[in-house]
Amino acid sequence: MPVANFEQYCTMLDRAKKGGFAYPAINVTSTSTANAALQAFANMKSDGIIQVSSGGGQFASGQNVKDMALGAISLAQHVHLMAEKYNVLIALHTDHCHPDKVESFMIPLIEETEKRREMGLPNLFNSHMFDGSELPLEENIKISKELLIRCAKSDIILEIETGVVGGEEDGVNNENTPADKLYTTKEEMVQIAKELRPLGKFMYAATFGNVHGVYKPGNVKLRPEILKNGQDAVEKELGNEATHWLVFHGGSGSELSEIHETLGYGVIKMNIDTDTQYAYTRAIVDHMFKNYDAMLKIEGEVGNKKFYDPRAWMKAGENQMCDRISKACTDLRSEGKSVFHS
């Protein structure tokens, strides 16, 4: 199927919220990792979200170009082409765009969609994330409103965040964030609903102790009740229809029971990056160790091209990443729930 249009994307998110499941949102940095995500979603009969960070876009553009927006455009175009071959809906999203990267990353991508729409072409990306969590709340909301107004004109969903996700991801380090900043308040959740809902469709990464990075299960102390209390406050003041499409960042190391609890509070999207990075690389390490002599030209030998051809070990990485995403579909209960299979 083609990449989801605006109406289909909204339907995806509404179905997840009503059905108590969430879509894995997979960060990709190459055509290989994007293909792994596409294959996994198709295998699991799950619609899904493929996303690109500013760092991922920069990497995809090559070490000499280092253009984060251009790399993201390249990856998005690849997904648009390949998604046609799979019978599930795929949405394209950009991850954490911090205030200092709005002009160099998000705006050029919005402009690219605006140009495409003028030519009668579909949107390049379905949604973008503005991460203004490092800013004072009022400034975060002010910029979020400006971006949402522009996005809404082109049927783009905006994702925003209040509170801070701890740990480190994509070069941004929040490991020393004060504990109180790791939890969004219910007052913030109500304020966000009041100020942004009239302007357009948006997703909301409210924080409840989430941490980016690698942790053993049980080492991350989440407080899912933060989400419930916030949604209840929104419903009490503005009605059930105003409750949020919530996003779960920093899920590595979370207990499955905690993940499932959040699904009942309106989480419709869970970002997955650390675990898929590891899955892809772990398969390559395994290939290298098992085929060490074949990989290298040692003591005058020529090695074995069947093993050192990058396609051999990239296929291994792709397959294992695909398996990890398939597990995420099961964990988030999106398996078998594609619009085309349910």
Integer Cα distance of 143 and 136 in angstroms: 11
Known binding residue 276? Answer is no
For residue 60, the surrounding DSSP H or E stretch is helix 54-60
- Evaluate the CA torsion angle 140, 147, 7, 331 in order and state its sign: negative
Helix (H/G/I), strand (E/B), else coil: 3: coil
- Choosing from 47, 67, 95, 275, the catalytic residue is 95
Known binding residue 131? Answer is yes
Known binding residue 287? Answer is no
CB atoms within 10 A of CB 215: 15
Known binding residue 271? Answer is yes
Known binding residue 273? Answer is yes
Helix (H/G/I), strand (E/B), else coil: 66: coil
Known binding residue 55? Answer is no
- Check if 47 is active-site: no
87's CB contacts (< 8 A; 6+ apart) are 1, 42, 338, 340, 341
Known binding residue 272? Answer is yes
Pairing of strands 48-52, 90-97: parallel
Known binding residue 249? Answer is yes
Known binding residue 309? Answer is no
Residue 256 CB burial class (10 angstroms; 0-12, 13-18, ≥19): exposed
Known binding residue 260? Answer is no
Known binding residue 239? Answer is no
* Active site positions, annotated: 95
Annotated binding residues for Zn(2+): 96, 131, 161, 212, 249
Annotated binding site: 96, 131, 161, 212-213, 249-252, 271-274
Residues within the annotated binding site for dihydroxyacetone phosphate? 213, 250-252, 271-274
